[in-house]
Amino acid sequence: MENILTFVHMVSLCIWLGSMVTWAVFAPKLYKIDPTKNTTNTLRGSFTKISWGSFWVAFVTNSLIQLTTDSSSNWMNELIFLSVAAGIIALHSFLGNKLSAAIRGMLNGVMLIIALVVVYLATSYI
């Protein structure tokens, strides 16, 4: 059971990180070629669903891994980073329009760093 949880956890982390990086690469270009932002908003909605969905799968599988392993204190470190990431992502998602471009960019950078740390921690515990 632990192997299945770990596999699902790693896949969800990769999807979460990949969706963030992919959106960060394509969003600026889409804003330039889509002045009405209809396509951009549709794609943003899709990436948001994928990113949040995979994030919550990672969060839940991390919690379940902690219940099934002896090294739960190691996984707790990752859960702390996931919790911080959830707060920053929520701030960015729900207040994004009210924040300046500089603040949104800073939050994007922080989210990317936290995601990389979480993936590093997860791979080091396997």
Mean pLDDT of all residues belonging to the chain: 87
Structure tokens given for 95? 């207040």
Cβ–Cβ under 8 Å, residues 38 and 81: no
Per-residue pLDDT band at 57 (split at 50, 70, 90): very high
Interacting residues of 1 by C-beta distance below 8 A, sequence separation 6+: 68
Q: Is 100 helix (H, G, I), strand (E, B) or coil?
A: coil
pLDDT value at residue 116: 92
pLDDT value at residue 93: 79
Taking residues 27-50, what's their average pLDDT? 85
